[in-house]
């Protein structure tokens, strides 16, 4: 008789295997058999849990977004000031859990696939809206809303751009330099805002 907790464990194992396989290949052009083999389950079981490969890929993207969202919420809960809120959002995007080679490669693969997959495009829109909202939660306390909108858009572009650039390089991602680059931009904008008109 199977254990009660096995289906969630197997689903999670398949999602983790998908991230690792996509990360190694740098593409979503992987098979259910490869992912299932890496997870230590049969291909038939993978199909049973997720249907077609697209179902597993969407579940994988939702998992990555869910983990990122949970990390951001934890970081924001301990932020006392508007400035700390913005820095927390930036730091989480480059944390050890998020800014690792497999996750970076998976993000790049999902961005590419979203050009032809409406479900993945919708998930990426959810991510973009959340990122914008989380940044705005701090930025609106630091500058007028129109400027906060522009700065939030630029920070989001820097985060996405640093992921893309990192995906195209070999070696270990350098989260410290990535955070410093985004923080430098933010500090420049804050200083400009403080200057008298």
Interval 80-121: pLDDT, tens? 999 999 999 999 999 999 998 889 888 888 888 888 889 999
The alpha-helical segments, DSSP class H, found in 32-171 are: 32-39, 43-50, 53-77, 82-93, 101-113, 118-139, 145-167
The region that residue 105 occupies, defined by phi over 0 for left and psi between -120 and 50 for alpha, beta otherwise, is alpha
DSSP letter for 79, please: -
What's the mean pLDDT in 176-180? Answer: 95
Q: Which residue has the tokens 């579940």?
A: 59
Distance between CA atoms of 43 and 80, rounded to whole angstroms?
48
Q: Give residue 5's pLDDT band: very low, low, confident or very high (50, 70, 90).
A: low
Q: Give residue 8's pLDDT band: very low, low, confident or very high (50, 70, 90).
A: confident
What's the mean pLDDT in 144-170? Answer: 92
Three-state DSSP class for 48?
A: helix
The region that residue 26 occupies, defined by phi over 0 for left and psi between -120 and 50 for alpha, beta otherwise, is left
Q: Which long-range contacts (CB under 8 A, 24 or more apart) does 162-166 make?
A: 162/94, 163/99, 163/104, 163/107, 163/108, 164/108, 164/111, 166/99, 166/104
Q: Output the pTM of the full model.
A: 0.87
pLDDT score for 1: 42
Q: Are residues 195 and 168 in contact, defined by beta-carbon separation less than 8 angstroms?
A: no
Sequence ranges of the domains in the chain: 60-194
Name the average pLDDT for the chain: 90
**Among candidate residues 164, 177, 174, the one with its CA nearest the CA of residue 26:** 164
Q: 60-194: which CATH number, 1.10.357.10, 1.10.760.10, 3.60.150.10, 3.90.1150.10?
A: 1.10.357.10
* Six-digit token string for 156: 């989001």
């Amino acid at each position: 008789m199977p254990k009660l907790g096995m289906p969630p464990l197997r689903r999670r194992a398949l999602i983790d295997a998908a991230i690792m396989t996509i990360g190694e290949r740098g593409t979503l052009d992987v098979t259910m058999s490869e992912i299932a083999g890496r997870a230590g389950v049969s291909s038939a079981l993978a199909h049973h849990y997720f249907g077609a490969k697209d179902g597993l890929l969407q579940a994988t993207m939702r998992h990555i977004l869910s983990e990122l969202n949970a990390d951001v919420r934890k970081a924001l809960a301990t932020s006392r000031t508007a400035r700390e809120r913005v820095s927390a959002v930036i730091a989480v995007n480059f944390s050890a859990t998020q800014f690792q080679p497999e996750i970076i490669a998976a993000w790049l693969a999902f961005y590419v696939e979203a050009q032809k997959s409406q479900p993945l495009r919708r998930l990426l829109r959810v991510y973009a809206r959340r990122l914008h909202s989380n940044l705005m939660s701090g930025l609106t306390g630091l500058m007028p809303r129109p400027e906060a909108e522009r700065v939030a858009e630029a920070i989001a572009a820097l985060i996405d751009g640093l992921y893309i650039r990192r995906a195209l390089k070999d070696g270990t991602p350098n989260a410290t330099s990535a955070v410093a680059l985004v923080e430098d931009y933010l500090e420049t904008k804050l200083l400009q805002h403080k200057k008298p008109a």
